Amino acid sequence: MIETFALGDRVVMKKPHACGANEWAVTRTGADVKLRCAGCGRVVMLDRVDFLKRAKKNLGPSNERNSSEGNG
């Protein structure tokens, strides 16, 4: 179970998605959390309590957000 997460973070869930990936990107936070599967792009919404139970590990900010900032 993770304690903190933010918009744009990548998280690993306890069980993999049907496509085989278990890494998700957080695209919305609040009372509900919106996630996008890193494998197939499927979008799901979970209530915050359910998300906190199902999440295993926070991997930090996604590469997509970092690459858009530019490196020089």
What's the pLDDT at 15?
A: 92
pTM: 0.78
What's the pLDDT at 54?
A: 92
Q: Does a structural domain hold residue 58?
A: yes
Q: Does a structural domain hold residue 39?
A: yes
Q: Does a structural domain hold residue 21?
A: yes
9-56 pLDDT, tens digit per residue, is: 999 999 999 999 999 999 999 999 999 999 999 999 999 999 999 999
Strand, helix or coil at 72?
coil
Q: Does a structural domain hold residue 1?
A: no
Q: Does a structural domain hold residue 4?
A: no
- What end-to-end distance do the CA atoms of the chain give, in Å? 37
Tell me the pLDDT band of 68, cut-offs 50, 70 and 90: very low
